[in-house]
A and B are shown apart, each in its own frame.
Chain A
Amino acid sequence: MTNPMIRISRHAGIVAVLLFTLSAASPLAAAESPLAGTWRFDRARSTELSPWQDYVLTLTVDGDRVTFARQLGAGRRGFADAMTIDVSRPDNIVPVPMWPDNRHLGAYISGDRTKHVRAAWLDGGRILRLSTDLVLSTQQGDRAVNILSDYKVSANGAVLTLTELRSTRNRPVVYVFNRAPASSK
């Protein structure tokens, strides 16, 4: 019979090796992700944002765990949400209290109020690509929608471009953000 302590120790060793292997495979192992930071909406270079007027996006990157915190605002009105996904996981199930992306459309988050997100690093970590599946409720019923979202950082790290392709929309949505100065984070 093997000593249980030795068994745990062995397992811990295996986990450590696995973690090291995974982190070595991640392009973000050695340096902070260029996506990390607070990004402020550049209205002049973006798709018109209504019903919102302002959009502050904060990305926090911890290895493969990425947190997206959105703050949408229009005068006194605002909406904030956050989601954390694990890029290494094939499916991240994220709660969706409301679908704020285009409130001027008669389309609402449906069913179990969740979305399924999978992600991948591209170009050595400069780009994060999300594929999101959710179900929107409309006057005629539920409709499955897929959204491809690319978060791309400019070469100098100062500009973030979010390009969204919704399966139901013929036209891409492009939001451009400028990196907020450290003091305003």
Chain B
Amino acid sequence: MKHPLPSVGPVSDRQGQSKTGPAFRAHGFLVLSLLVCALGTLSLPAQPAGTVKAAVRAPDSATLIPLSENWRLDGDVPVHALLISLQGLANRTAPRVYLEYPKNWQWEIVHPLIGFLQKRHGVKFDRLALNDAGVALARYGQYARGVVVWDKHVRSSLIVAFTIAGVEDLVVVNEDQLPLAAAHGLQPVVDLRGQFTGQPDHVIYQWAYDRYFARCSRDYYVVMGGEAGAAMQPGIADFGIQQRAFFTDLSSNPKHSEELALLNKILSQQNPASIVLGWHSYAKDTEGQHTTLVGNYGLMMEGLHNLPNVSFTSQIPLTPDFKFTNNHHVAPTATLQAEPKVYLCAVATDSMGIGTWTKPGRGKIPYTWQVLMNWVWMNPPALQFFYEDKSPNDYFIGGLSGPGYMYPKSIPADKFPALAAIGRRLMKQLDLRALEIMDYSEGNRHVGNTDLPKELVDRYYAEYPDAIGFINGYGTARTFDLRDGKPFLSYEYYLAVDRPEDEAAADLEELIQLNPARPYFLLVHVRESNTIEKVANIIGRLSEPVEVVPLDTFLKLAAGAKTYRTYHRQPTDPVNLNP
């Protein structure tokens, strides 16, 4: 049924400013939420102030809607876009709708998290049929005041429709879905059919900018990239719509000068240290270009375009009996004496939810996992799930370069302290003592360099005084330092997904040969799809015994035996700007 609301005026997500629209039709949940927000901002993490309101407790019940595996625009994307937009609107004032993405979804924790929410929060899910837009609209159509119609023939019109959905409280439909929407009292408010025919993206998004940007959030901007062409996986769109974010897939590639100019205009107007959600378009620019540009504005990137259900999970609090507790092995002030042997530390990054957490082998050997720290407010149940599910051999560290995914070399010096302050707070909250750094602004694991100049190393030591050490790289890097018992080490090896065990073992043996002094500190970055079983097998093939240790032990051992040379990025190091 259509909700009889007047047209929505300008809105802001910034704390203290008024909102209009369905948000004020909330029930007791909102009252509790506001109370928590008002009283508990200190305990809430570093989200843009007031944009996410965790409830006192999870809801007693919620609607669960399974989604199909088809993510083609000429397939099931239309019904998925409808449901995701409806989810964003329905979840604005309380967590009501959880979408069950398919089993092969990249963020694989979507399924274990359902069990976690049932078990730890007592949420009772009312499960609808696959892609059941009809029942969903019957239940939650009241949170929309109409529909925005995207043009089936212009892909970018769907991305514009996400922006409009958030600003105008509209469900996203195409022309085939108009009868269904009408059956639930939802009529077209904005119709994009024919609006963009034959236009390039910079013109399309300029049109959206001129009409909607002023009313969009300055705390969130969504890059609705990733897959291009016939496919789209807009998992993060529910949160963007909930937050009234501006959506585009504008390119940061200098060869797309018009798109880049508009993107610069957008990013320059976002709040300091605000959030860039989503991922760059695989068809337009590169990860290095995009992340570098975001860093230039001192913004935090949460780089997973298909991260699902954040409009729901961000409102789920931690259970009262839970506290983030890491498996520390050494006290921060402890000193360890290394033996004359090889120490190996395996680190998995790339977001725990898309890796091997649920695969066989976890717990078999000491393993270090990089935590995306902003998830403490974007996705508290997911982090609680990981922390509670950890084995004694799982150890957590912070990343990536700070709060979110960022390249420190691209961040202006005057913007770094604000980000570092957020990072320090998150590390403390999450009981993390080591920080992982990655910088692809001048290279990648193939070419160029991923090292930090001394000035930046100085900055990390100064801004993170409580850290027990730092690690750098993604592929290998060569930034090494040691100050006040706190090592700054780089990855010695990158375990590629395709690397067979025998060749990987030969690689490690070669490194051991190349570095004859003992102790030798062999830090390995394990690409997320490699199983822990594979890593254990590789280590088992080595002719020289190695001791596998978690990162805190590794850092403490490296602090006591500096067999590595101090090295910072040199002016003569190769540079590649990731074209």
For residue B168, give the distance in angstroms from its CB to the closest CB of chain A: 38
Q: Are A51 and B494 in contact (CB under 8 A)?
A: yes
Once the chains are docked, how many angstroms separate the CA of A170 from the CA of B514? 12
Q: Are B507 and A139 in contact (CB under 8 A)?
A: no
Q: Which of B449-499 contact A (CB under 8 A)?
A: 475-478, 480, 490-496, 498-499
Q: Are B507 and A138 in contact (CB under 8 A)?
A: no
The residue of chain B having its C-beta at the shortest distance from the C-beta of A107 within the complex is B514
B563 contact set on A, CB distance < 8 A: 139-140
For residue B229, give the distance in angstroms from its CB to the closest CB of chain A: 16
Looking at A5-13, A83-91, A95-103, A120-128, the stretch in contact with chain B turns out to be: A95-103
Once the chains are docked, how many angstroms separate the CA of A105 from the CA of B510? 8
B447 interface hit (Cβ, 8 Å)? yes
The residue of chain B having its C-beta at the shortest distance from the C-beta of A43 within the complex is B498
B25 interface hit (Cβ, 8 Å)? no
In the complex, per-residue mask of A156-178: 1 if CB is within 8 Å of any chain B CB, else 0: 00000000001011110000000
- Contact A103 B511, CB 8 Å, known A76-B286, A140-B516: no
Once the chains are docked, how many angstroms separate the CA of A140 from the CA of B513? 11
Q: Are A104 and B445 in contact (CB under 8 A)?
A: yes
B579 interface hit (Cβ, 8 Å)? yes
In the complex, per-residue mask of A37-60: 1 if CB is within 8 Å of any chain B CB, else 0: 000000000011011100000000
> Which of B446, B503, B517, B543 meets A77, CB within 8 Å?
B446
- Contact A51 B496, CB 8 Å, known A171-B502, A171-B506: yes
Number of interface residues of B (CB under 8 A): 41
B574 interface hit (Cβ, 8 Å)? yes
Q: Are A169 and B510 in contact (CB under 8 A)?
A: yes
Q: Are B511 and A106 in contact (CB under 8 A)?
A: yes
B119 interface hit (Cβ, 8 Å)? no
For residue A45, give the distance in angstroms from its CB to the closest CB of chain B: 14
A140 contact set on B, CB distance < 8 A: 514-517, 520, 563-565
B496 contact set on A, CB distance < 8 A: 50-51, 104
The residue of chain A having its C-beta at the shortest distance from the C-beta of B444 within the complex is A77
Please indicate which of the listed interface residues B446, B493, B516, B579 has the most CB atoms of chain A within 10 Å of its own CB. Answer: B446
Q: Are B506 and A106 in contact (CB under 8 A)?
A: no
- Contact A48 B446, CB 8 Å, known A105-B493, A138-B515: no
Q: Are A50 and B499 in contact (CB under 8 A)?
A: yes
For residue A161, give the distance in angstroms from its CB to the closest CB of chain B: 17
For residue B255, give the distance in angstroms from its CB to the closest CB of chain A: 12
B76 interface hit (Cβ, 8 Å)? no
Q: Are A171 and B579 in contact (CB under 8 A)?
A: no
Once the chains are docked, how many angstroms separate the CA of A30 from the CA of B516? 49
> Which of A48, A78, A136 meets B500, CB within 8 Å?
A48
Once the chains are docked, how many angstroms separate the CA of A48 from the CA of B507? 12
Q: Are B493 and A168 in contact (CB under 8 A)?
A: no
Once the chains are docked, how many angstroms separate the CA of A102 from the CA of B504? 11
B543 contact set on A, CB distance < 8 A: 170
Number of interface residues of A (CB under 8 A): 33
> Which of B446, B491, B503 meets A74, CB within 8 Å?
B446
Query: Could you tell me the dominant secondary structure of chain A's interface residues?
Result: loop
> Which of A50, A143, A145 meets B498, CB within 8 Å?
A50
Once the chains are docked, how many angstroms separate the CA of A105 from the CA of B507? 7
Once the chains are docked, how many angstroms separate the CA of A7 from the CA of B156? 79
A20 interface hit (Cβ, 8 Å)? no
Q: Are A97 and B574 in contact (CB under 8 A)?
A: yes
Q: Are B509 and A48 in contact (CB under 8 A)?
A: no
A138 contact set on B, CB distance < 8 A: 511, 514-515
A103 contact set on B, CB distance < 8 A: 445-447, 475-476
For residue B574, give the distance in angstroms from its CB to the closest CB of chain A: 6
Once the chains are docked, how many angstroms separate the CA of A121 from the CA of B567? 41
For residue A116, give the distance in angstroms from its CB to the closest CB of chain B: 19
> Which of A74, A100, A139 meets B480, CB within 8 Å?
A139
A137 contact set on B, CB distance < 8 A: 478
Please indicate which of the listed interface residues A97, A105, A137, A143 has the most CB atoms of chain B within 10 Å of its own CB. Answer: A105
Once the chains are docked, how many angstroms separate the CA of A51 from the CA of B574? 17
A4 interface hit (Cβ, 8 Å)? no
Q: Which of A127-146 contact B (CB under 8 A)?
A: 136-141, 143, 145
B495 contact set on A, CB distance < 8 A: 104
The residue of chain B having its C-beta at the shortest distance from the C-beta of A53 within the complex is B498
Q: Are A98 and B509 in contact (CB under 8 A)?
A: no
A47 contact set on B, CB distance < 8 A: 503
Q: Which of B542-579 contact A (CB under 8 A)?
A: 543, 563-565, 567, 574, 579
A107 contact set on B, CB distance < 8 A: 511, 514
B565 contact set on A, CB distance < 8 A: 139-141
Q: Are A139 and B503 in contact (CB under 8 A)?
A: no
The residue of chain A having its C-beta at the shortest distance from the C-beta of B477 within the complex is A106
Q: Are A102 and B507 in contact (CB under 8 A)?
A: yes
Task: List 8 A-B pairs, minimum CB-CB distance, nearest first.
Answer: A106-B492, A171-B506, A50-B496, A139-B564, A106-B476, A77-B446, A104-B494, A140-B515
A-B contact pairs, 29 of them (CB 8 A): A47-B503, A48-B499, A50-B496, A50-B498, A51-B445, A76-B579, A77-B447, A100-B447, A102-B507, A102-B510, A103-B445, A103-B446, A103-B475, A103-B476, A104-B475, A104-B495, A105-B510, A105-B511, A106-B490, A108-B478, A138-B511, A138-B514, A139-B480, A139-B567, A143-B515, A168-B514, A169-B509, A170-B543, A171-B506
Which residues of B are at the interface with A, using a C-beta cutoff of 8 A?
Answer: 286, 444-447, 475-478, 480, 490-496, 498-500, 502-503, 506-507, 509-511, 513-517, 520-521, 543, 563-565, 567, 574, 579
Further contacts, 16 of them, CB under 8 A, given A106-B511, A136-B514: A48-B498, A50-B498, A52-B446, A76-B286, A79-B446, A106-B492, A106-B493, A138-B515, A139-B515, A139-B563, A139-B564, A140-B520, A168-B514, A170-B543, A171-B502, A171-B506
